[in-house]
Amino acid sequence: MRHPNVAVVGATGLVGQEMVRVLEQRSFPVNALHLFASDRSAGKRVYFNREPVEVRELKSSAFDSIDLALFSAGADISRQYSPLLAKAGAVVVDNSAAFRMEPWVPLVVPEVNPGDLDHHKGIIANPNCSTIQMVVALAPLHKTNPIRKIIVSTYQAVSGTGSAAMEELNTQARQVLDGRQAFPHIYPHQIAFNVLPEIDVFLYNGYTREEWKMVEETRKILHAHEIAISATCVRVPVFVGHSEAMSVEFSHPITPEEAWEVLRHAPGVRLQDEPEISLYPTAWTAAGGNDVVVGRIRQDTALPNGLSMWVVADNLRKGAALNAVQIGEILVERGLYERAG
């Protein structure tokens, strides 16, 4: 089987850069790598396998040779170019929200529902970062003891908004420490030394779009539309690494010990649960890693058959770039990228 020609669209953004790094680190079988970005970034060079690759402006005329395209350039760009690439014979793995809830588009986390890739029609959606880490932790438990209810609060890093947000946090922190006033530009309020219970826009029901993504995407990925889910998503002054506090109600009684045994063998999960020595997942230690790290598993005192837990992952890697590359690995392994067109 020949190696695919791979494109990264949005190659100079935080997630796009991470995609290139992950492709190299995992020795992805690339025949040729094509990097695309806006006209502002065209001409830049990015090193891949010690060789410089020039970033080109995104134009549909360059799509003929692409077999697999990893998109991280925003929903508008994805809606415009993903169908064109798919029509040209490529398979698109899209990191935006453009196609996630389309019935004909698989929404895939490789550790959870890789079988959904068998029925792709040229476009595959990468889930929301917070959804990914939640379902990686919960899917193994759901298989052994079906979940009835999830109540989750997230603590999301500013890198989820992009490099400008990271710079704003850095600048504001210095301003505050110097006794100066910090002015928000990216977020509606100061993010330094603050927490903001607003990620994406507010919807008619009082939830934000980010919160509603977690509800709808989790049900689609798990093929379990009956699960009751309530999410509160909060932006915190952390650069990299999303954290989640979850209370989960199962169909049958379950103990922390039973959960530990399941998660100890779960793909993509690393247990870190020794609170007696203050060992539990943190955003700082999860950053740069591939695993979804789970700890503080305990009996929930409010929900019947319930457990509470704390889940952390690097939002740029497993929450975006790594998940997309893992999808690509399955497509190559199964020869599925050759079915498009």
Q: Classify the C-alpha dihedral 255-251-233-128 as positive or negative.
A: positive
Residue linked to tokens 């379990």: 224
Catalytic residue among 34, 120, 142, 242: 242
Rounded Cα distance between 95 and 93, Å, is 7
DSSP reduced 3-state for 57: strand
Residue 329 neighbours by CB under 8 Å, 6+ apart: 26, 28, 110
Q: Between the CA of residue 308 and those of 146, 186, 246, 294, 304, what are the distances in Å?
A: 15, 33, 6, 11, 11
Residue 252, judged by CB atoms within 10 A of its CB (0-12, 13-18, 19+), counts as: exposed
Catalytic residue among 120, 129, 142, 233: 129
In the structure encoding, which two tokens stand for residue 135, read together? Answer: 């379902």
Residue 317 neighbours by CB under 8 Å, 6+ apart: 18, 22, 288, 289, 290
In the structure encoding, which two tokens stand for residue 294, read together? Answer: 């789970």
Q: Which of 320, 327, 326, 329 is nearest to 130 (CA)?
A: 320
- Residue 261's CB is within 10 A of a number of other CB atoms, namely 12
Q: In what order do the strands lie in the sheet with 91-94?
A: 45-48, 51-57, 32-37, 5-9, 68-71, 91-94, 123-125
Q: Does the annotation mark 129 as catalytic? A: yes
Rounded Cα distance between 127 and 44, Å, is 29
Active site residues: 129, 242
